[in-house]
Structure 1
Amino acid sequence: MKKNLINVILFVLAVAVFTSCKKDEYETIQIAKMISVKEMRALPTGITKATPAKRTGKIYIYNDYLFINEPNEGIHIYNNANPSAPVNVAFLKIPGNVDLAIHNNILYADNFIDLLAFDLSDMNNIKQVKRLTDVFNQLYSPGSEKYLYTYKDTVVKKRTSKDKIYYDAYSSSSSQGGSGQGGSMARFTLMNDYLYAVGLNNLSLFDVKTASNPTFLKAITLGWGVETIFPYENKLFIGTNRGMHIFSATDPANPVQLSTYSHIFACDPVVVQGKYAYVTLRTGNNCRQASNQLEVVDIEDPAKPKQLAVYPMQNPHGLSTSGDNLFLCEGNFGIKSFNIANKTKIGDNLLQHLNNIKSFDVIAGPKSLIVTGEDGVYQFNYTNAANLKQLSIIKAQL
């Protein structure tokens, strides 16, 4: 009886959270299915032939490669040496995966409640080198028996606007040194030979000084509503739906909380450049009390962050900075670029608004501006932030 009740609860959660519309009259929902931990660990993982993504999740760049997560399925790997013509080279199958980070040729990825490490030294022969079990155990179902949930795509009749549900995928899982670069929606990040992963209510620490042999150290309780993490100059900026935590990682094995910048209940990615943090707040399924806005926070004294400016937006999601430019995803309303040289005039310095792309996260990379949209992953030449020029699109098989 308990297991059936959990199934019903998870079915409702899956319908309400993990849906995306595909056709005019129909939509694909992901229905939850319970599996035991033993069954989960028996699911196949590892490298397979290249396949197109059905949905796009987190993005990550490392050397000349672009990694695109397909939520709960695994990671698509593209040779992105030429952003105008990315080449799909492989698919890394990882059931339950939503996040990743790469350090010294080792890729770390969540596999439901476990952390997996893969050696990328030979991209034609990627091998799993480590599994750390039970490190993300917030995903356990209630009760003494350990069950998890996975998903199955099902096509159903689309809801009308009258019964509309707000969808905003909430995953259960920017870097330095020999590491890659993730987007502002990341829940994994690397700094000073440590991997940091935020869960629903905590921060997990892993020692990755020996990259192929990650070691779990501890989890720090943060309170519910944790969403994203961003590293900058030996500090960790953790976005939650009620504010931004700032931690000092001067001692990387023992992060110390310096302060919390609070705001109204809202979905909250954050990026940092210099002595300023840029925070987006938006409405959505978990954020209905929020306003749609960009906040600029002065963090010169990280123990006393203070709001410098607020700018109204349409439905801001992920964001990225490069020099004096800020690139901001507006969900269904497109992507915008701003000049941010004058922090108190950003709202007056819109450079460009591409309103024909549904954008959710963005990375200002060394070769291209990489944007995740509903229909795929776009790349732009952003040499002139006022005139973004599309280089390519990796289409999702909707």
Structure 2
Amino acid sequence: MKKLNPIFFVLCCFSFLFLSCDKIEENSTYRISTPIYKSLGEVRKQEIKMESPVAFGRVGKIYSYKDYVLINELEKGIHFYDNSNPAKPTAIGFLPILGNVDMAVKDDVLYADSYIDLLVFDIKQIQQPKLLERDENRFSTYLNQRIDVSLNEQIRVPVDYKDTIVHESYLRTYNPWIKYETLYLDSNSSGSGQGGSLARFSIAKEHLYAIDIKDLFIYNVKEAAKPRFVKNMTLFNGIETLFPYKDKLFVGSTTGMVIFDIRTPEAPQQLSVYSHIRACDPVVVDDKYAYVTLRAGSFCGGSNVLEVIDIQDPRAPKLQTRYPMANPYGLAKVDSYLYVCDGVQGLKTFDARDVMKISDNLLERMELPMVYDLIPGPKSLLVVHQKGLSQYDYTNRAKLKLISEISIPKIR
């Protein structure tokens, strides 16, 4: 099957939590990939075992654990790489997990979603992951689609896609299970590892926190191979990302940032809500500030900006300043440096020692194709973009040095 344009999936699938069902009037020629379905019962019966390495297509979330890098291929599974030498990452294999979007690892145990289930794998033998447990019907949302969990194994889920060319003028409603690739538009059309800033799974204080469109799910993973579900907390529609920092959990949403106290990890206490205009919203923090990128778009709304929020009083966060951006996605704060994935404008490095002068202190811009998330790892800065994964030596935080690339093969 012909692969689709990864840019579109960044915009329409990567977050998976965008809420709007926008009606869009278009005069266009499209390649529409419509889903091929199976029942969830059929999917659950399929054996999951490591396969030989394969080239990946639609890159999704990334996760760094020990000397390994895990790369999600949206809805398909996880590619494992030995990254002990970041200059020469070596493919280990591909773990096919249908409906997979997010992951986290603790003590050689991998937690991964599969549609609305949570799967638990023993990865002590990294080349032979072993499925330990499937917690069924845990989540109620997949690709922004609410699932009737009462149907259980009769739920029909997309397992692949077939392409159809459509030529028409029409009014369409956004459907996250149908993938559109524009071919022609009229000229008038307008202990644990580490995830990136767009993560929906995160481990903190011996607990796994996971979110879907409106709920926060909590597992006790003190015994990593025997996760114990604690509870879920219904927050509000539009939650998108998780970022733990010390005894706090920061939840990014389409309408703001929520700060929780997790000193009692099984009973997070909401400290405050910082509201902003409707926009897609990853968050990273340091001791004094939260850095939030807001991204406009047909599904997000809002503006393209970087906001710096004073969180020294976590019960009363307040906007410190904001800066215009082109089309920002993920970001990371390392020492006094701020790295921002600014979409088609590439990866930007800022000196953030003075938060009131960040835009005046752009140190470097790496010209990458549609960059959208990164992880500051112990050996390299891992950056995900439209064409794959690039790693940089960032010993000198202000001057990145490319050391390796894992590229998506060109579509012929």
**Shorter-chain TM band:** 0.7 to 0.9
Aligned to 1:233: 246
Contact 1:28 1:154 in 2 (8 A): no
Normalising by structure 2, report the TM-score: 0.84
1:372 Cα deviation after fit? 0.5
1:223 corresponds to 2:236: yes
1:297-376 aligned at under 5 Å gives the runs 297-376=309-388
Q: 1:64 aligns with which of 63, 67, 76?
A: 67
Which one of 12, 24, 39 corresponds to residue 17 of structure 1?
12
CA distance in 2, matches of 1:70, 1:305: 36
- State the distance in 2 between where 1:27 and 1:161 align: 9
Where relative contact order (Cα < 8 A, 6+ residues apart) is larger, the structure is 2
1:145 partnered with 2:151: yes
SS at structure 2 position matched to 1:145: helix
For residue 271 of structure 1, report the CA deviation from its aligned partner. 0.5
CA gap 1:40/1:137 in 2 versus in 1, 3 angstroms: farther
Cα offset for 1:340?
A: 0.4
* Alpha-carbon distance between aligned partners in 1 of 2:326 and 2:288, rounded to the nearest angstrom: 26
Unaligned runs of 5+ in 1: 1-13, 20-24, 167-177
Shift of residue 152 of structure 1?
A: 2.3
Provide closer, same or farther for how the CA distance between residues 238 and 164 of structure 1 changes in structure 2, counting only shifts above 3 A. farther
Matches within 5 A, 1:40-189: 40-139=43-142, 141-142=147-148, 145-146=151-152, 147-155=155-163, 158-162=182-186, 178-189=191-202
**Greater mean deviation of Cα atoms: 146-155 or 362-371:** 146-155
CA offset digits 1:285-314 (Å, max 9, x no partner): 3212x1100000111111100011101000
Deviation at 1:277, TM superposition (A): 0.5
Aligned residue for 1:39? 42
Query: Match for 1:216: what amino acid?
Result: F
Residue-by-residue CA offset, 1:2-35 (whole Å, 9 max, x unaligned): xxxxxxxxxxxx9x9359xxxxx99875423343
Give the direction of change, closer, same or farther, for the CA distance of 1:310–1:322 in structure 2 (3 Å limit).
Answer: same
Cα RMSD of the aligned pairs, angstroms, is 2.3
Aligned counterparts of 1:241 and 1:211: Cα–Cα separation in 2: 32
Distance 1:148 1:273 in 2: 43
Contact 2:137 2:149 in 1 (8 A): no
Does structure 2 conserve the Cα–Cα contact (< 8 Å) formed by 1:18 and 1:29? no
Q: 3-state DSSP class of the match of 2:60?
A: coil
Aligned to 1:394: 406
Mapped to 1, the partners of 2:291 and 2:236 lie a distance apart of 22
* Match in the other structure for 1:190: 203
Segments of 4+ moved more than 6 angstroms: 25-28, 163-166
Q: 1:349 to 1:297 in 2, by over 3 A?
A: same
In the alignment, the residues of structure 2 paired with residue 106 and residue 143 of structure 1 have an alpha-carbon distance, to the nearest angstrom, of 26
Percentage of pairs with the same residue: 42
Secondary structure of the 2:50 match is strand
Deviations 1:160-196 (A, max 9, x none): 3449999xxxxxxxxxxx1001000000000111000
Quote the offset at 1:44 in angstroms: 3.2
Looking at structure 1, the residues matched to 109 and 151 of structure 2 have their Cα atoms a distance apart, in angstroms, of: 33
Give the aligned residue type for 1:84: A
Equivalent position of 2:220 in the other structure: 207
How far 1:45 sits from its partner (Å)?
1.9
Could you tell me how far apart the structure 2 residues matched to 1:165 and 1:229 are?
35
Is the contact between residue 241 and residue 283 of structure 2 (CA under 8 Å) also seen in structure 1? Answer: yes
- Structure 2 match to 1:295: 307
Cα separation, 2, equivalents of 1:162 and 1:260 = 43
- Asked if the contact 2:35–2:161 (Cα under 8 Å) also holds between the matched residues in 1, the reply is no
Contact 2:252 2:258 in 1 (8 A): yes
Q: Report deviation, 1:384.
A: 2.4
